[in-house]
Structure 1
């Protein structure tokens, strides 16, 4: 395994776990830890941004080139995450199980459709 893959694996896992724990702490009112959850989730996001910078630095990627396609793919990924999260909220918090599962599956399909989008964007650069 390459050095950049190991660094991405550890930093991505650590930032994802911190973000998830922070969001759980802030969203579940039973815990009474909203502020601490927001802080821990923000630290997870910050580590994720540092991971992106470190990845570009290790891979000698240089600066980011924003294109219209990359902005659209980023916007689509944010929308897909919101749809997936809304399905989870509908199932666990609002009690609309069947509708929440349907919306969650739609969000999963949207997230899975990002794979060919990223593969096609990498091929066009080569």
Structure 2
């Protein structure tokens, strides 16, 4: 196993654990940890982004070039998710 693959594996596992624990903390109402859960989930996302940059650096690949199309696609996706998450509780209230 190459060193870059091992480092990526470790960082990926750490980021997944942080993200999953944060989402569990935020979504389980009995824990009363919504705000800390969101923070821990964001730490997991940051670790995931860090993993991508570290892996690309260790593999001697070019840095990721962010285009306008990629930014617009990400924004449209985020808006769609937010709208979906806002509509689900509204639909449950209509029943």
2:16 corresponds to 1:16? yes
* Count of residue pairs the alignment pairs up: 77
Q: Which residue of 2 aligns with 1:91?
A: none
For structure 1, the residue ranges without an aligned partner over 5 or more in a row are: 87-93, 95-126
Question: Any runs of at least 4 consecutive aligned residues in structure 1 with deviations exceeding 2 A, and if so which?
Answer: none
Q: Which residue of 2 aligns with 1:43?
A: 43
Distance 1:2 1:44, change over 3 A: same
Deviations 1:8-61 (A, max 9, x none): 100001100110000010011111001110111111111111111101110111
TM-score by length of 2: 0.68
How far apart are 1:65 and its partner, in Å? 3.8
Q: How does 1:22-101 map to 2 (within 5 A)?
A: 22-65=22-65, 71=70
For structure 2, the residue ranges without an aligned partner over 5 or more in a row are: 86-91
TM-score by length of 1: 0.52
Higher-RCO chain (CA-CA 8 Å, sequence separation at least 6): 2
